[in-house]
Amino acid sequence: MITLNSVTKTFGDAANPVRALDDVSLSVASGEIFGVIGQSGAGKSTLIRTVNLLERPDAGTVTVGDRELTALNDRELLQARREIGMVFQQFNLLDSRTVRGNVELALEVVGVDRRERTKRTNEILELVGLEHKAQQYPAQLSGGQKQRVGIARALASRPRVLLSDEATSALDPETTESILQLLRSINKELGLTILLITHEMDVVKSICDSAALMSGGRILEQGRLVDLLSQPGSQLARGLFPLGELPEGNSTVIDVTFVGLSSGRPVVSQLARTHQIDVGLVGAAIETIAGAQSGRTRLELPGTADANAAAINDLRAQGLVVEIVRSGR
């Protein structure tokens, strides 16, 4: 649904260039929620503004659906943008308009007649749970309600793609969770493709099917979360399951990842009994990610990795992902 191919974007002048996007390629499948995560300055906001060509890239191509946006003229691009909704961090509502008026604005600018505007606005306000707030003004709303208006406005023109630019970063945790669940509900009910950017791993963990990690204007890794969890060394997987610092000593330390398996499986006790070794539990985390219960356990084994090869191979034979974090000596 969304494809960026070798996209580059540079700001500043020739003497002081800032490369916000550095040969970025990204692929978002139709109907999925895709998260782009990274720290401030990673290039996330530039990336998402490139998808609808609010920022035109210096090089590379941007394709949404079956249209290569970077090949369109201004009139064609305006038409294509009607299929791409966008939700902003700071809401960007007009204080002089009611909730209804803010949502209808998105339809007014594309020439939808009054009767159809009213009908569509009623539908979309009900979808986001704000039908009872239609005549109120932004100043009378909470932060979460303002963001729901922003989402309703973005959905008014029936887009195929929804872009979310840090839409929850200004909200408290409880409100953030309600907005994320609304986005997931919209994704399922409308079959909408959602691309969101965030600096919060909890957002990715909560609703995303796939994700990409950005730093310094580049994509470091990307893929479906269930696949990334199965890749030893994945930075995104480590972020999804933070297990703290390594214990001191000369022992072997391994991370064991369970993907879509029951958390009640007695892996540690079976390992200790079968191989007659003392197994130390250093850390553990269990989460529901991309609809599947997954987890990661950090274990400490006595001796070197070679001495524990049989135990490690036993875990891998059970379909578990094992990463040797430290090889003892």
Summarize pLDDT for 143-198 with one digit per residue, the tens: 999 999 999 999 999 999 999 988 888 788 899 999 999 999 999 999 999 999 99
Indicate whether 235 pLDDT > 80. yes
Taking the domains of the chain in order of start, what are their residue ranges?
2-230, 241-326
pTM above 0.95? Answer: no
Indicate whether 288 pLDDT > 80. no
Average pLDDT on 46-62 reads: 95
Find all residues with CB under 8 Å of 24, minimum gap 6, and list them: 4, 6, 7, 8, 43, 47, 60, 217, 218, 219
- Please tell me the distance from the alpha carbon of residue 289 to that of residue 225, in angstroms, as a whole number: 7
How are beta strands 210-215 and 18-28 bridged, if at all?
A: unpaired
How are beta strands 84-87 and 161-165 bridged, if at all?
A: parallel
- Please tell me the distance from the alpha carbon of residue 208 to that of residue 223, in angstroms, as a whole number: 11
Q: Which of 182, 294, 189 is nearest to 241 (CA)?
A: 294
Cβ pair 31, 191 in contact under 8 A: yes
Cβ pair 52, 88 in contact under 8 A: no
Residue scoring higher pLDDT (170 or 210): 210
CATH number for the domain formed by residue range(s) 241-326: 3.30.70.260
Residue with tokens 């204007």, as numbered in its chain: 217
Does the fold of domain 241-326 match that of domain 2-230?
A: no
Average pLDDT on 234-248 reads: 84
Indicate whether 213 pLDDT > 80. yes
The tens digit of pLDDT for each residue in 71-110 reads 999 999 988 998 999 998 888 899 999 999 999 998 988 8
- Please tell me the distance from the alpha carbon of residue 201 to that of residue 217, in angstroms, as a whole number: 18
* pLDDT confidence of residue 264: 58
Give per-residue burial for 126-136: e unless 16+ CB within 10 Å, then b. Answer: ebbebeebbee
CATH entry, 2-230, from 3.20.20.370, 3.40.50.9100, 3.40.50.300, 3.40.50.720? 3.40.50.300
- Please tell me the distance from the alpha carbon of residue 218 to that of residue 21, in angstroms, as a whole number: 6
